[in-house]
Amino acid sequence: MSPLSTVRHSRNQWQHKALQRANHDRYRRKQLARVTQERDRATQALNEAQARLHQLEAQSHGLAVQNKVALVFFALALFLVARIGFRAVSRVLSLLAVALGMHNAPCPQTSITWVTRLAIVRIQAARRLQGLPLSFAPVSHGLIWMIDVSIALGTGKIVAVFALDAHHQHLSDAAPSLPQVRCLAVSVATSWTGDTLAELLRRLIAVMGRPAAYRKDGASDLHNASGLLEEQGLASPAIDDSSHAVATMLKRRYHDHPQCATFVSAWGRVSGTLNHTMLACLAPPTVHTKARFMHVHRLVTWAERVLQLAPAGGAKAGSTRKKLRACFDP
């Protein structure tokens, strides 16, 4: 065989093998694409079937959350009735997502948005709120306005005005709770004085009318505001909160007493020593400095029980009771 024939024969064999490999690769690609499409269709059908099955199971078991309205209601109930925080609401809904028929639980910011919208709606609806009129205040709307100034985040202070029917004690045997109280206004400022509080109350009176009475603490700014309203002919009886009044009397009586300073010093020392230890369950209750005499009964009850648990000279050396008693010693 000549060299030219040998080259042609080798080329033909190479072309035949290349054609076979190309046909085989082309067939494998087509089969792979077909299998991939079938797999995707099967996966999508499986997901849809599982979602449909999950929905049918939710309907058959009568799950609490089947739409967004039910979800919002459930989240608001956890916040307003169960009295847990926004992060706790999100965690509870995450744990109950499968049982409630939810795919994703709302985040804390979503719960804050829902509560804010509910608050706006309730404040707007409170403008038409009317209580039973009183015989001694015929021109009032029969509502008691409860005013409180609290510290907000940062340097701002929040003023909240709530309304309670003056005949609540005749309409209900229980103490006022959240369903019986309506929020009329909320305002934030760097500081509040008698003039600014009187202006806020004057704007409320222009919309809703004069209240039957004001319920307030013993703060001087609230006292000055009621005095300014009285000078303008918009006076209403002012009712001082008994808890604040009693706390003020206790403060005047015992604030400068030597034993009070000793007790407060021991309370702070024990709190700092027992926290984050095995005896943390015996730590004193947390009480704010400005409201110390508002909750002084909690501190006294705690001290009485702890002293009964660890009396002086009655603990063995190295025992847990001895460690507890050592916290009281300066």
Report residue 256's pLDDT band, with 50, 70 and 90 as the boundaries. confident
Is there a domain that residue 9 lies in? no
152-175 residue pLDDT tens: 666 788 888 888 888 887 777 887
Q: Are residues 49 and 106 in the same domain?
A: no
Is there a domain that residue 86 lies in? yes
5-62 residue pLDDT tens: 777 777 777 777 878 888 888 888 888 888 888 889 889 988 888 888 877 666 555 5
Name the domain boundary from 240, 275, 298.
240
What percent of the chain is modeled with pLDDT above 70? 82
Q: Could you tell me where the beta strands, DSSP code E, fall in 81-219?
A: 143-151, 157-165, 182-189, 213-216
Query: pTM for this one?
Result: 0.55
199-241 residue pLDDT tens: 988 888 888 888 888 888 777 788 888 888 888 888 788 887 7
- 240 membership: H or E segment, kind and range: strand 238-240
pLDDT of 315 over the 80 cut: no
Q: Could you tell me where the beta strands, DSSP code E, fall in 129-194?
A: 143-151, 157-165, 182-189
Which letter, b or e, does each residue of 266-282 get, where b requires 16 or more Cβ atoms within 10 Å of its Cβ?
A: bbeebbebbeeeebeeb
CATH of residue 177's domain is: 3.30.420.10
SS3 call for 255: coil
Gap between the Cα atoms of 254 and 264, Å rounded? 11
Contact 66, 59 (CB under 8 A): yes
Report residue 318's pLDDT band, with 50, 70 and 90 as the boundaries. low
172-190 residue pLDDT tens: 788 787 778 888 888 888 8
Domain span at 217: 140-240
Is there a domain that residue 22 lies in? yes
Please state the domain count of the chain. 4
Segment 15-22 long-range contacts (CB within 8 Å, at least 24 positions apart):
none
Contact 208, 127 (CB under 8 A): yes
pLDDT of 75 over the 80 cut: yes
